[in-house]
Amino acid sequence: MALGSIPLYNDFLMMKLVSWNVNGLRAVCQKDFDGIFNSLDADIVCLQETKLQEGQIDISFLGYESYWSYAEKKGYSGTVVFTRVSPLRRVDVPVLDADVFPGNEGRLVVLEYEEFFLVNCYTPNAQDGLRRLDFRMQWEDYLRRYLCELDAQKPVVYCGDLNVAHQEIDLKNPKTNHQNAGFSDEERGKMTELLGAGFVDTFRYLNPNVEGAYTWWSYRFKAREKNTGWRIDYFICSDRLKDRIRHSIIHNEIFGSDHCPVELLLD
């Protein structure tokens, strides 16, 4: 059963957005991805961790345009947006400092729509022992500045696997995971900074006290069966979009990846 706030309404002027880390698009395509995609019936679908190079898959959906970003490293990272609402343009993401961010990891797709910028993101993992934490901190500072620059022009809808559980309520075992990747004080602090810069975590905005709401589960120890998970997949919006949020849902009933899709409905 999906988790989230589902109001009763009947309004045709809505936009449904879905975000999902598929942990390999070719793999999930063998698990009824077409059926899942069509059942979600979203206007915009953002995927992360596609693990593809250009030309490695032939996939399309009737009525949808697609916008891809590929990592230079084979079988790694990668993002894509499928949209049946044509954007005004694809935004060229500013080049990151090559000394700090070597290579292209395919982590961002940015589209401009009439009323907002869409940023589909696969945030770097700090990795075991926090050995990539310095990179992660630089990434967070870069992206926060970039989101604020976009927000100065028009509202932002920022989504994806952000690789952080912000609060203790956002994972099953906060005490034993303290200072592990995804739940370090440093990573959580950067999320706090982002939200303090004029953005809102849509799920927590509507569901401040809901427990057991997770989007990622380890494949080990029957974690998903026991709901021993983490909420690390988000829809984050500019504060001034808060009154337009109609629901923010976690589709924990959908399988196919170690993550599940999350959904946002805006009017």
Is residue 113 part of the annotated active site? The answer reads no
Q: Of 160, 133, 266, whose CA–CA distance to 216 is shortest? A: 160
**Which are the contacts of 228, defined by CB distance < 8 A and separation ≥ 6?**
172, 173, 217, 218, 221
Distance of CA 98 to the CA centre of its chain: 24
**Of 70, 146, 158, 161, catalytic:** 161
Q: Of 109, 97, 201, whose CA–CA distance to 141 is shortest? A: 97
**Of 70, 113, 122, 158, catalytic:** 122
- Phi, psi of 201, rounded to the nearest 5 degrees: -80, 105
C-alpha–C-alpha distance, residues 31 and 211, integer Å: 29
Is residue 76 part of the annotated active site? The answer reads no
Catalytic residues: 122, 161
